[in-house]
Amino acid sequence: SQQGEEDPQALSIQEGENATMNCSYKTSINNLQWYRQNSGRGLVHLILIRSNEREKHSGRLRVTLDTSKKSSSLLITASRAADTASYFCATDAGDYKLSFGAGTTVTVRA
Amino acid sequence: NAGVTQTPKFQVLKTGQSMTLQCAQDMNHEYMSWYRQDPGMGLRLIHYSVGAGITDQGEVPNGYNVSRSTTEDFPLRLLSAAPSQTSVYFCASSYWGSGANVLTFGAGSRLTVL
């Protein structure tokens, strides 16, 4: 069964606004990763946060991790049309089986 | 520098036919895996390999076989295709020595079973 679950399932925002999506998971992890998938393409790794980290930044991306609540959030600031994609969280329990959620579809309106 | 290459990109099969989805990577990654992606269900792990000669089952292995005779190649075989195997299949690899399983994905293979 899937480890991570993203919320919301879909998100529509205006260009320039921020987009926030959340991921909840069930068991202990070594790290949590976020991936992006553009329509009809493969997934691309965005950012990784380890279990002993609380926050991480990469460009316009900010990821938080709360291991006590078993949850993570991904914030995309100042969104652009090119950010239109599906975003997936993936949990790594150190057992070679990276487990993905069902994803959040983000639409950025011009 | 091709990364992860999957072939074919599209395939239509009839129920009961067999076929092999090919996956090759040129990054010398030890770890390779196959996922299937279905609407609303995210990606589910089918099989994975941590090195040549070593394979193991993921979440949904039934109906699929894999082998890993070289570091570069990790083919996925459908033994007797069923309509339930209609899906988009992704191959992914990673350099396990980085201490985290950060995957590089192929572009996907869309399979339809009639």
Average pLDDT of the residues of chain A: 94
Higher-scoring residue by pLDDT: B42, A62: A62
Between chains, do B90 and A42 touch, taking CB under 8 Å as contact? Answer: yes
* pLDDT value of position B84: 96
* Model confidence band, residue B42 (pLDDT cutoffs 50, 70, 90): confident
* pLDDT value of position A1: 47
* Model confidence band, residue A105 (pLDDT cutoffs 50, 70, 90): very high
Is pLDDT at B77 greater than 70 in this prediction?
yes
Residue of B4, B31, B43 lying closest to A96 (CB–CB): B31
Q: With CA atoms as reference, report the closest residue to A103 among A13, A28, A4, A25.
A: A4
Query: In A, what residues contact B, Cβ < 8 A?
Result: 1-2, 4, 30-31, 33, 35, 40-45, 48, 50, 88, 90, 92, 96-103
* pLDDT value of position A95: 85
Q: Mean pLDDT, to the nearest integer, of B100-105?
A: 92
Residue pLDDT, tens place only, A42-95: 999 999 999 999 999 999 999 999 999 999 999 999 999 999 999 999 999 988
User: With an 8 Å Cβ cutoff, is B48 touching chain A?
Assistant: yes
In percent, the amount of chain A with pLDDT more than 70 equals: 97
Q: How distant is the Cα of A102 from the closest Cα of chain B, in angstroms?
A: 4
Calpha distance A35→B9 (Å, rounded) = 21
Q: What is the 3-state secondary structure (H, E, C) of B44-113?
A: EEEEEEEECCEEEECCCCCCEEECCCCCCECCEEECCCCHHHCEEEEEEEECHHHCCCCCEECCCEEEEE
* pLDDT value of position B97: 65
Q: Mean pLDDT, to the nearest integer, of B77-87?
A: 97
Q: Which residue of B has its CA nearest to A33?
A: B102
* pLDDT value of position B39: 86
